Amino acid sequence: MTLAAAPSLISKDRAISLLEEVIKQSEAEEIFVSLSTGEESLSRFSENQISQNISSTQFKLTITSYFGRKSASSSTTDLDSDAIASAIKRSEELARFAPEDPEWVPLLEPQVYEERTPAFDEVTATLSPLTRGEIIQRVCAISAKAGVDGSGTLSTETNLYAIANSRGLRACNQTTQADFSFTARIGDGSSWSNRSAWALEQLPIEELTQQLIERAIKSRQPCEVHPGTYPVVFDGAAFAALLPWIVWNLDARAADEGRSFMSRTDESGKPAGNRLGEAMFSPIVQVQRNAAHPLLQLGTFFGDGLGNDYKEVIQDGIPQTLSYSRYWAAQQGKKPTGAMYPIVMTGSDQSLADLIAQTERGILVSRAWYVRYVNPRSLVVTGMSRDGTFWIEDGQIAYPIKNLRFNQSLPEMLRDVDALGTVQRYGSSIVPGVRVGAFNFSSVTDSV
């Protein structure tokens, strides 16, 4: 097989010098520039064969020009000088005629970031289509041999992200990521999970495939249980679809303005600050923002230039910090924090099987699907279980059950967490399997 020539991705030094060239060309009073470039590949398979197989080379330069309190942005995916000059001009033209922003904040001065290098794996960055195809060929063969329909994805990505501004701020990170997800279907049985890592070799692809095939086979002929409130054991992959909703809603401004579950209300029902420091959740819930976690080793800064450093988000069930934008922090006399991700939730050394063994009766949820707000103020969400839902009886999986819709207050869910399992990486989150004492299911479906 003849391998096509590799793309000519730009280096860190070239990225920073390109940003400096843009700053030099700018006629604005101030300028902020960012650059993202990389290579993304993804193989997708279903019915035990590849159905989609792609690779793309990406580049994006974004320019924000400032005139006093006025600003505007433009971006281009062209690397040539004419396109860049045009993008600079466009952002300046927009910014000159933009209205003044009453929430304007000055550009950041140079920042000090965590002293570490994000993970970059050369093998992952240069993985050939042939190698990807061979891995999937093995997964498909395992599925076919077991008599199941296997589908899923295997993706790799390398990305360089750099920022600079006219006040001297400079930063650049280069990262890799690999991700594998797999669904096994057999008759009326189904299972799914996924894993993410910064290097392909860390993904337990064939082991996970085998486990999921076994789970799919066990999930056949599901029984129906009545909707109601039950203890639930969440596989980490399922809990990873719920926990981020809590963290996304830790915005300080929304809390202070009375729009969030973190809002405090006075006796007359008016907003009265936020609930930071209240013992709102189970004391075993510990959540951190930790881009340096060994399984993540992600970038050191956010897109606006603030550092993505370690933060205790929830400690012993008590929220420790909210997310303060630079504007809202200035209004409230706080330090700006940036967003509260990547999410790392502390687990234990107990396996999912251990959590099940400690459960007298309840439900095992393997995947949470189509989770959406029902009430943003109280953070009630709805969604479905999917790809393997089981009834637990006397510490064992008794039988598969039909999928259920849930309507659940997520702060109450976090309050009712009573056991934790081991952690895994799902996307950019580190999450354990979790047991919750009470979880609300409202209806049943035959859908597999």
Partner 1 sequence: MVQAPAPISEVKTPGYTTELSELAIDLIRKAGCEYGDVRFCTYRTQNLYARDRSLSNLSDNVNSGFGVRVLLDGAWGFAASHNKTPAEVARIVALAVDIAKASRLSQLTRVQLVPVEAHRDTYITPIQIDPFTVPIAEKAELLLNVNEQLLNYGSRGIKKAYSYLSFSREDKTFASTEGSLIHQTIYRSYPGFGCTAIANGDAQNRSYERPPLNIGYEHIDRSDILSQVDRVAEEAIEKVHAPVGPSGIRSTLILKPTNLFLTIHESVGHPTELDRVYGYESNFAGTSFATTDKLGKLQYAAPWVNFKCDRTQPGGRSTAGYDDEGVASQNWYVVKDGILVDYLTDRETAHRLGRLSSNGCAYADSWSSVPMVRIPNLGLEPGQERGSHTATLAEMIADTEDGILIDGIGSFSIDQQRRNFQFGGDAFWKVEKGKVVGMLKNVTYHSMTTDFWNSIDAIGPASEWMQCGANNCGKGEPIQIAQMTHACVPVRVRNIQIGSSS
b (16+ CB within 10 A) / e for 60-84: ebbbbbbbeebbbebebeeeeeeeb
Query: Site for partner 1 (CB under 8 A): which residue of 26, 34, 36, 71?
Result: 71
Shortest spacing between CB 127 and partner 1, in angstroms: 11
Shortest spacing between CB 40 and partner 1, in angstroms: 7
Shortest spacing between CB 144 and partner 1, in angstroms: 8
Shortest spacing between CB 61 and partner 1, in angstroms: 10
Q: Which of positions 40-59 make contact with partner 1 (CB under 8 A)? A: 40, 42-59
Q: How far, in Å, CA of 170 to CA of 20, rounded? A: 9
Shortest spacing between CB 84 and partner 1, in angstroms: 11
| 333 contributes a contact to partner 1 by CB under 8 A | no
Q: Which of positions 235-264 make contact with partner 1 (CB under 8 A)? A: 257-259, 263
| 182 contributes a contact to partner 1 by CB under 8 A | yes
| 136 contributes a contact to partner 1 by CB under 8 A | yes
Q: What element of type H or E holds 205?
A: helix 205-218
Q: Three-state secondary structure along 62-81?
A: EEEEEECCEEEEEEECCCCH
Query: Site for partner 1 (CB under 8 A): which residue of 173, 174, 175, 183?
Result: 183
Classified as helix, coil or strand, 13 is helix
Q: How far, in Å, CA of 448 to CA of 445, rounded? A: 8
| Residues 142 and 150: beta-carbon distance below 8 Å | yes
* Closest CA relative to residue 184, chosen from 241, 134, 144, 233: 144
Nearer to partner 1 by Cβ, of 190 and 429: the residue is: 190
| Residues 418 and 281: beta-carbon distance below 8 Å | no
Shortest spacing between CB 310 and partner 1, in angstroms: 29
Q: How far, in Å, CA of 301 to CA of 387, rounded? A: 36
| 26 contributes a contact to partner 1 by CB under 8 A | no
Shortest spacing between CB 122 and partner 1, in angstroms: 19
Binding pattern for the stretch 427-446 against partner 1, x by CB under 8 A and - elsewhere: -------------xxxxxxx
Nearer to partner 1 by Cβ, of 141 and 357: the residue is: 141
| Residues 301 and 295: beta-carbon distance below 8 Å | no
Task: Decide the pairing of beta strands 361-365 and 229-234.
Answer: parallel
The label of the residue with tokens 């953070």 reads 379
Shortest spacing between CB 9 and partner 1, in angstroms: 11
| 75 contributes a contact to partner 1 by CB under 8 A | yes
Q: How far, in Å, CA of 340 to CA of 423, rounded? A: 19
Q: Which stretch binds partner 1 (CB under 8 A): 170-178, 222-230, 238-246, 316-324?
A: 222-230
Q: Which stretch binds partner 1 (CB under 8 A): 21-29, 70-78, 315-323, 430-438?
A: 70-78
Query: Site for partner 1 (CB under 8 A): which residue of 348, 407, 409, 422?
Result: 407
What six digits make up the tokens of 190?
Answer: 């189904």
Q: Which stretch binds partner 1 (CB under 8 A): 115-123, 129-137, 197-205, 351-359?
A: 129-137
Query: Site for partner 1 (CB under 8 A): which residue of 10, 14, 17, 73?
Result: 73
Query: Site for partner 1 (CB under 8 A): which residue of 21, 68, 81, 97?
Result: 97
| Residues 23 and 33: beta-carbon distance below 8 Å | yes
| 137 contributes a contact to partner 1 by CB under 8 A | yes
Task: Decide the pairing of beta strands 429-445 and 361-365.
Answer: unpaired
Nearer to partner 1 by Cβ, of 221 and 351: the residue is: 221
| Residues 195 and 426: beta-carbon distance below 8 Å | yes
| 371 contributes a contact to partner 1 by CB under 8 A | yes
Shortest spacing between CB 43 and partner 1, in angstroms: 8
| 220 contributes a contact to partner 1 by CB under 8 A | no
Radius of gyration of the chain (CA): 24
Nearer to partner 1 by Cβ, of 181 and 308: the residue is: 181
Query: Site for partner 1 (CB under 8 A): which residue of 22, 28, 72, 413?
Result: 72
Q: Which stretch binds partner 1 (CB under 8 A): 25-33, 144-152, 198-206, 340-348?
A: 144-152
Q: Which stretch binds partner 1 (CB under 8 A): 85-93, 203-211, 214-222, 243-251?
A: 85-93
Nearer to partner 1 by Cβ, of 29 and 316: the residue is: 29
Q: How far, in Å, CA of 256 to CA of 275, rounded? A: 9
End-to-end CA distance of the chain: 40
Q: Is the peptide bond before 102 cis (omega within 30 degrees of 0)?
A: no
Q: Which stretch binds partner 1 (CB under 8 A): 18-26, 125-133, 284-292, 431-439?
A: 125-133
Residues with Cβ within 8 Å of 88's Cβ and at least 6 positions away in sequence, in order, are 22, 25, 26, 27, 63, 65, 74
